Amino acid sequence: MNAVSVLFRREMRLAMRQSADSVMVIAFFVIAVVLFPFGVGPEPNMLARIGPGVIWVAALLAAMLSMDRMFMGDYEDGSLELLVLSPVALEFVVLVKVLAHWLTTGLPLIVTAPLLFVMMNVPTEIWPVLLMTLLLGTPVLSLLGSVGAALVLGARRGGVLLSLLVLPLLIPVLIFAVGSGDAVLYGTGAKANLMLLGGVLLGSLALTPWAAAQALREAVA
Amino acid sequence: MAVFSGHNIDCVRGERQVLSGATFSLESGAALVLRGANGSGKSTLLRLMAGLMRPVAGAITWDGEDIADDPHEHNRRIAYIGHADAVKPALSVTENVSFWSELSGAGGMRATEALTALGIGHLADLPARYLSAGQRRRVTLTRMLTSGAPLWLLDEPTTALDQDTSDALRGLIDRHLASGGMAVISTHTDLGLASSGLLTLGAAS
């Protein structure tokens, strides 16, 4: 357990010292959303209609930007081999990396989101439920991303390949997340959607560390 | 007295047979030096010994037990220094060294002692991005000292090191062996260790 916290502190320290990476993700998120009013016109009802979807898609793409670096640095400088040989089970290494990735990209995305809700004229009554979907959904991005990031180690243009691998898998998250907002507006309540999102989160929490760890073992062999 | 040995090890990378029938045996207090031309499989053999790869045929054993049977136990026994330095430029020298020693729950030297032993104690607080190649190599070598592991697997440890540090490294390895440790070292330069066997790897087909 102590070793896990040592690893976590190192991940956070590295992330803090290279905070430009997180800032870039947030900047991309904001700019991608800001482009839409210019593209589709500033009609408030139109923006309110597409707002949740646009914000979620932008969040997916922004998270993709940082995904390929989850293991890349350690792979290139040889640290990954040593992590494989360390007393910490590789599944826990993956979980720590995912947690650090979420804290440095997912969480800032959630904090930035209300600003974009205002910009896209998203009705205030669905703000809480949309924030809830981000809270449940962004960890799934990091978890599934870890499998993709581990699989593309050693590949040329890994970042692009990673998006092709992971984005299709994230479609259910997108559907349930945006569906929650609509459900509140139609008065049916978002409970079912949120529970499905929670299910996806728990499922990926249980399965992805094993898959990613296996991919990492293959990468260093 | 521990015995680390390998018998008739074959290894294939891609389509190419890198090792065929490599055999070695090593007891506490002894070192094994791997020699051979570039591409003769020295690094591959060290990676097999570390358990990063599995041999296609043959087995590597510690006291008669296959190392693949209990990888976690084997990880505790080894300090592996590969080609790559695994030094993070964004962290300070001390942070780099103590991360690996704390991660392994080390029973070996403390970080500051290890840095002093390799002659870079004065660089402790410097961000690692300002280190020269040789200094970075020395930071990497501290891992074998802090780990407290009985078996050192060193892949070209003297790369980028100056003569004085190479001599210091030899002294450290000799001391490790004298206290009952083992070491497997791949090298092109003669380290002149007190007690060492030699395994020459030929170019396999």
pLDDT at residue B38 above 90? no
Residue B81 CA to residue B160 CA, distance in Å, equals 14
Q: Which chain A positions have a beta carbon within 8 Å of B105's beta carbon?
A: 2-3, 87
CA neighbor of B89 nearest in space, from A18, A86, A185: A18
DSSP A19: T
Per-residue model confidence as pLDDT tens digits over B44-84: 999 999 999 989 999 999 998 999 898 888 988 999 999 89
% of chain A at pLDDT higher than 70? 100
Tell me the pLDDT of chain A averaged across its residues. Answer: 93
Token pair for B115 = 């840095």
Per-residue model confidence as pLDDT tens digits over A55-93: 999 999 999 988 988 999 999 999 999 999 988 899 999
How confident is the model at residue B205, as a pLDDT? 43
Residue A220 CA to residue B47 CA, distance in Å, equals 10
Instruction: Look at A87 and B102 and tell me if their CB atoms are within 8 Å.
Output: no
Chain centroid to CA B205: 26
Handedness of CA B66, B72, B74, B80 (dihedral sign): positive
Q: Which amino acid is at A56?
A: W
| Mean pLDDT value of segment A1-19 | 90
Q: Going by C-beta distance under 8 Å and a sequence separation of 6 or more, which residues neighbour residue A214?
A: none
Strands (E), chain B: 3-13, 16-27, 31-35, 57-62, 65-66, 78-81, 151-155, 182-186, 196-200
Instruction: Look at A10 and B52 and tell me if their CB atoms are within 8 Å.
Output: no
**Could you tell me if B80 lies within 8 Å of chain A, comparing CB atoms?**
yes
Among A99-108, A170-179, B5-14, the minimum mean pLDDT is found in B5-14
Q: Which chain B positions have a beta carbon within 8 Å of A2's beta carbon?
A: 102, 105
How confident is the model at residue B107, as a pLDDT? 76
Q: Going by C-beta distance under 8 Å and a sequence separation of 6 or more, which residues neighbour residue A217?
A: A84, A90
Could you tell me which chain A residue has the CA closest to the CA of B83? A78
Q: Specify the 3-state DSSP secondary structure of A12.
A: helix
| Mean pLDDT value of segment B92-102 | 92
How confident is the model at residue A38, as a pLDDT? 93
How confident is the model at residue A4, as a pLDDT? 92
Q: Which chain B positions have a beta carbon within 8 Å of A82's beta carbon?
A: 80, 86, 100, 143
What is the pTM for the complete model shown? 0.91
| Mean pLDDT value of segment A13-41 | 92
Q: Specify the 3-state DSSP secondary structure of B22.
A: strand
Q: Which chain A positions have a beta carbon within 8 Å of B99's beta carbon?
A: 6, 10
Instruction: Look at A85 and B80 and tell me if their CB atoms are within 8 Å.
Output: yes
Length of chain B: 205
Burial of A32 (0-12, 13-18, 19+ CB in 10 A): middle
Asked whether A90 and A77 are in contact (CB, 8 A), the reply is no
Asked whether A29 and A58 are in contact (CB, 8 A), the reply is yes
Instruction: Look at A2 and B72 and tell me if their CB atoms are within 8 Å.
Output: no
| Mean pLDDT value of segment A200-216 | 96
Residue A41 CA to residue B37 CA, distance in Å, equals 68
Length of chain A: 221
How confident is the model at residue A160, as a pLDDT? 87
ipTM: 0.89
Could you tell me which chain B residue has the CA closest to the CA of A82? B80
Q: How far is A204 from chain B (nearest CA, A)?
A: 26
The verdict on domain B3-200 having CATH code 3.20.20.70 is no
Q: Going by C-beta distance under 8 Å and a sequence separation of 6 or more, which residues neighbour residue A65?
A: A24, A25, A28
How confident is the model at residue B195, as a pLDDT? 67
Handedness of CA B123, B127, B128, B129 (dihedral sign): negative
pLDDT at residue A206 above 80? yes
Residue B79 phi/psi, 5-degree rounding, is -120, 110
